[in-house]
Amino acid sequence: MIKTNKFDVMVVYSKQDTFSARDEEPTPFSLKSRCAGYNDSYSYLLLQCKKKGIKAAFTTSKDIIGPGLFQSFWTFDKKWIKHECQAYSETLFDKFSPTTDKQKNRLRLLTASKSITTFSNRKMKTLFQNKLYTYKEFKKIAIPSVEITSSSLEDIKEAKVKLDSILQDHENSEDFSDKYILKDNLGAGGFKIYKIDFAKSGFEKIIEHYKENQKEKSSTSFVLQPFINCEKGFVFNEYNGFIDLRIILMNNKILQTYIRVAKKGNFKCNEHQGGNLVYMPNGIIPWNVLKAIKRIKSKLDEKMNLEHSLYALDFIKSNNGNLYFMEGNSGPGIDWDPTKKVNETKSKELIDHIVNRLGDMVQANC
């Protein structure tokens, strides 16, 4: 009979970024990759669970073999420890956002039993993971977006004509430059985002990016958006340039606020793209952002139960002072820049909130 270890909580991470305990690597995240610091984040999460009396372990989507069931897992006790045996839990801290049919089938298998509960709000994850869904739901404040469903020149031209029509009728049409942004519809972390200039081989560039993406996943979808002039938008203290503002919420309350400042010569604000993350006091949030947050929460509340949901809302401000909801995130990152003590402190504060919520979920499942 196969021994199965039962846990209160299993952290489930995408196999694209992690190693299974059945692999040869000594840690879940490669020490040579951009995700190396996640080893510290998730070891801290497991240790905080232990302090709260929550039995927790770490695993990957590669290890899924049934509802709440995994064929190997990691634990942490001064170092990462491999366990090449089965593990089971009904409470999942899911950091697994499938983008392919195969991955979606794994998620369906993982959550096939009604006894399995996930930390993230599934309806919110579906809405925020898809940039087109996000735009359609929040058209009045979101960045105009049109889907490109194939690499054919005809489809791309049709998408551009459709977007140009939307931009022409937009109340803030003066915000939009003659450049465009191409984004992987299901992408994250600032990856697969390209600036497009149709006066300089823009159509050819889109076809090229589309075909590159198809090599990684058969189902490919991009969205085309206007490039918004915003390098003189948000200004916080000494920080200026291309800036986005992220608000992290839980239990319908604002937990944390930070800005991300793009490095010189780049428009991408994400840390993974060289952006500088700077925490701000919640009191610095502009009134129009607070108004937009209230509006977004109200719409979300109509469609899903927001109680205990953790999520982030990202905003940019145009040079003309107009606010745009850029995107939402149902699973904001918990890693930190090791060179900035305040970032580590704030990330650990967020992890502590997550662990407290996991404790509530475990109690509810008892």
Average pLDDT over residues 298-307: 90
Is 323 among the domain residues? yes
Partnered with residue 228 across adjacent β-strands are: 176
In the predicted structure, residue 218 carries a pLDDT above the cut 80: no
Residue bearing the bigger pLDDT, 60 or 241: 60
Residue 335 lies in a domain: no
For residues 16 and 46, membership in a common domain is answered with yes
In-domain check, residue 109: yes
Predicted confidence at residue 219, as pLDDT, reads 60
219 versus 230: which is more confidently predicted?
Answer: 230
Is the domain of 46 the same as that of 77? yes
304 within some domain = yes
Is residue 166 located within the same domain as residue 69? no
Domain count, the chain: 2
Lowest mean pLDDT among 39-53, 205-219, 280-294, 338-352: 205-219
Measure CA of the first residue to CA of the last residue in the chain; give whole Å. Answer: 26
Write out the two tokens for 336: 């930190």
Domain hosting residue 269, numbered range: 121-330
In a domain, 339, yes or no: no
- 90 lies in the same domain as 109: yes
Query: pLDDT exceeding 70 applies to what percent of the chain?
Result: 98
Reported as a single tens digit per residue, the pLDDT across 242-286 is 999 999 999 889 999 999 998 888 887 877 777 889 999 999 999
Query: For residue 342, is pLDDT > 60?
Result: yes
Confidence of residue 1 (pLDDT cuts 50, 70, 90): low
Give the residue, 156 or 266, on which the prediction is more confident: 156
If asked whether residues 184 and 234 sit together in one domain, one would say yes
- Report residue 292 as tokens: 């937009």
Q: Are residues 141 and 49 in the same domain?
A: no
Contact status, residue 151 vs residue 214, Cβ threshold 8 Å:
yes
Please tell me the total number of residues recorded for the chain in this structure: 366
Percent of residues, the chain, with pLDDT higher than 90: 73
Whether residues 56 and 185 fall in one domain: no
Return the beta strands (E) in the chain as ranges: 4-6, 9-13, 56-60, 64-66, 69-70, 73-76, 80-83, 86-88, 91-95, 117-118, 146-148, 176-184, 193-196, 222-228, 243-250, 253-261, 276-280, 310-317, 323-329
Closest CA to 294 of 145, 175, 144, 138: 138
Angle at 212 between CA 263 and CA 147, to 5 degrees: 80
**Claim to verify: residue 244 and residue 158 sit in the same structural domain:** yes
- In a domain? residue 337: no
What is the DSSP secondary structure assignment for residue 191, as one 8-state letter?
-
pLDDT at 237: 86
* CATH code for the domain of 67: 3.40.50
The domain that holds 308 is classified in CATH as: 3.30.470.20
Residues 157-173, mean pLDDT to the nearest whole number: 96
Look-up: residue for tokens 């299974």? Answer: 20
Residues 258 and 309 in one domain: yes
pLDDT tens by residue, 97-130: 777 778 888 999 999 999 999 999 889 999 999 9
Residue 80 inside a domain? The answer is: yes
**301 and 181 housed in the same domain:** yes
pLDDT at residue 74 in the model = 98
Average pLDDT, the chain: 92
pLDDT band at 144 (very low <50, low <70, confident <90, very high): very high
Q: Say if residue 163 is in the same domain as residue 61.
A: no
- Domain membership of residue 338 (yes or no) is no
Handedness of CA 114, 250, 94, 74 (dihedral sign): negative
Q: Give yes or no: residues 315 and 178 share one domain.
A: yes
pLDDT digits (tens, 9 = 90+) for 180-209: 999 998 877 768 889 999 999 999 999 998
